[in-house]
Amino acid sequence: MSEEYKRKYTFAEDYGTSYYKYGPITLGETPEIIENRGYFPDTTSIMYQIMAVPSDVIVGKEIPLYLEATEDLSTRLIYPMRNGVIARDDEKAWRVVYELTKYGLKQFKPAEPEFKGFYVVASLSSVAPKYMYEKLFEIHKRIDEEERLVKAVTIIPQPLAVAIAHKVPTCIVLESGHGNTQICPISRYPIRAAIIALNRGGSDANTLTSEILKDAGYGDLAREEALVTMIKENIGLIPRNLNEAIREAKENPEKYRAKFKVPNTRITIDLEAESWTRFLIGEYVFNPNHELFQSYFRRGMPKPKDVKIGDIYFRGMIDFGEAIIEAAERCPVELQPYLYQHILLSGGNFQWKAPEEFKPTAIDSVAKIKILLKEKGIENVNVEITEEPKYSVWRGCIVYGYAVPEKYEWKWERMEGWLKIRE
């Protein structure tokens, strides 16, 4: 199979904690994107038989059309990559990954007679254990047996894909999605012994947003995660300094009023006098240690805990600045200055708005990271957010796919190369 063929039929998959980004090289700069979730409808109901539901697992953009009672969502709506790690025996989660992968590959099956399968580059969390690589290879083999869609497949860590997309061989990548955050120093390849994994991501900001909505009288809406995410993204702000931002918002309540109308509904969220809480949402992601958060913890809001998942230890309450420094200081001293010169922020959890009318009180992710580092004595750093934080991993996978010659076969000892599915 020629390299020209591989460049034409390279296919990338980014299994994020919130979204699954996928598609072939022919899409250019932007992949297809759907939520990384699957819905298990009640197959015992009469309506399931009458309405001819297409599968016992629904994935893709059609999920909302099959949702049942709100109280059933917690057991029927499965997000498999919550922490970037799926338990080996979590059958429902792996079934969702299989259906998502099949959904994506089938969507782009070419009609050309020359097509003999995609060269697939998949990307997982940098803390994903070896068995997840094995499971993902098995899924692609099974899909090819059924659909003849996969020629070869490889898997790379998400931070490496970000570095590849931005052509920065020495850097620290912060990849922060819905479920977790990875801080990964890279020197030509991820320095695995220096990776810091955080049990904190966009879902934690969602949790706090839910509590804020309950306090404001919107408890009925606070249970719907997709809606909470939308509200968070539209009202949440990152403060330059939390205490000063709260004081400013309380002194100018109309200027900072948090009001949002849910599109295509009659629902309007208005925090009114409590609009200062919008600054808590952004602060919580970057540093959950402020004393104001203690009141939420005392009332029962889950605290980001230090947890061990498999062999990986996820930190809960450490702020992003401290986590970056700890990751860098696990590397050789002479390498550290070069790492600080390229800190790349990637993932949807860094896409915070800083509207002009709220500056300088509200800032963006880059400015917040610089402040957190400066507070701890690290200055003269270069922090950048990737051009499209949600898509940088996918773009890096595409670059990797057409750059790596097919002669390089998968080596488990190095965890790299192409695993040939068929000739």
| Average pLDDT over the chain, rounded to an integer | 89
Shared-domain flag, residues 122 and 12: yes
Shared-domain flag, residues 149 and 9: yes
Model confidence at 79, pLDDT cuts 50, 70, 90, reads confident
Model confidence at 221, pLDDT cuts 50, 70, 90, reads confident
Backbone angles phi, psi at 3, to 5 degrees: -65, -30
Shared-domain flag, residues 377 and 232: yes
Task: Confirm whether 139 is domain-assigned.
Answer: yes
The number of folded domains in the chain is 2
Higher pLDDT, 8 or 310: 8
Task: Confirm whether 173 is domain-assigned.
Answer: no
Task: Confirm whether 91 is domain-assigned.
Answer: yes
Q: Residue 51: what pLDDT?
A: 54
Higher pLDDT, 389 or 418: 418
- CA 349/CA 175 separation, integer angstroms: 8
Shared-domain flag, residues 112 and 8: yes
313-366: pLDDT as tens digits: 888 899 999 999 999 999 999 999 999 999 999 988 898 989 999 999 999 999
Q: What's the CATH code of the domain at 108? A: 3.30.420.40
CB atoms within 10 A of CB 219: 12
CB atoms within 10 A of CB 412: 11
Task: Confirm whether 248 is domain-assigned.
Answer: yes
pLDDT of 416 > 60? The answer is yes
Shared-domain flag, residues 394 and 367: no
Q: Residue 237: what pLDDT?
A: 96
Q: Residue 14: what pLDDT?
A: 95
What domain range includes position 99? Answer: 3-164+390-420
Task: Confirm whether 113 is domain-assigned.
Answer: yes
Q: What's the CATH code of the domain at 372? A: 3.30.420.570
- Give the DSSP H/E element, type plus range, for residue 78: strand 77-78
Backbone angles phi, psi at 246, to 5 degrees: -65, -45
**Inter-residue contact 377 to 329 (CB < 8 Å):** no
Shared-domain flag, residues 334 and 232: yes
Which pTM was predicted?
A: 0.83
Shared-domain flag, residues 132 and 215: no
**What percentage of residues in the chain have a pLDDT greater than 70?**
93
Model confidence at 50, pLDDT cuts 50, 70, 90, reads low
Shared-domain flag, residues 99 and 141: yes
Task: Confirm whether 171 is domain-assigned.
Answer: no
Shared-domain flag, residues 394 and 324: no
**What percentage of residues in the chain have a pLDDT greater than 90?**
61
Task: Confirm whether 394 is domain-assigned.
Answer: yes
Task: Confirm whether 181 is domain-assigned.
Answer: no
